[in-house]
Amino acid sequence: MVKEILLAGAGGFAGSALRYAVSAAVVSLPLRGGLPVGTFAVNAAGSLAIGVLAAWQPPGGWQVFAMAGFCGGFTTFSAFSLETVRLMRSGQVGMAAAYAAGSVIVCLLFAGLGLWLGGKLSR
């Protein structure tokens, strides 16, 4: 278990560092128009990467390093995307739709609540 935690942590470090680099590079492009394209690009790339890794299933600790660590550090949206697609592929389309809609709604509400609470705490 300690080995897996260290592998996930190392992958998370690499994914987080790359997320910052990619997001910073994309944000500097002149095509923003107000859309957070850095985050969008990272979420799309991470979703593609976790799909490839889930199908390929690298051996041993590489799966922990790559999927839980790297993809998790790069973007947790990739895990959300994979879980939603897996629900759909298993025939649980209603559950997938509820999970996707519920996740988006609840997370947006909680982000708003967090901003409100943080504002109260900073006064």
- pTM here is 0.74
Note the helical H segments in 1-123.
2-27, 37-56, 61-63, 72-74, 77-89, 93-121
Question: Tokens 């997370």 identify what position?
Answer: 107
**Region 104-122: what's the mean pLDDT?**
90
Q: Is 72 annotated as a binding residue?
A: yes
Over residues 15-74, the pLDDT tens digits come to 999 999 988 888 777 665 666 777 888 888 889 999 898 888 877 888 899 999 999 999
Domain ranges for the chain, please list them.
2-90, 93-123
Q: What are the φ/ψ torsions at residue 38 (nearest 5 degrees)? A: -60, -50
How many other CB atoms are found less than 10 A from the CB of residue 68?
Answer: 20
Question: And the tokens for 35?
Answer: 């859309």
Looking at residue 24, what is its pLDDT? 84
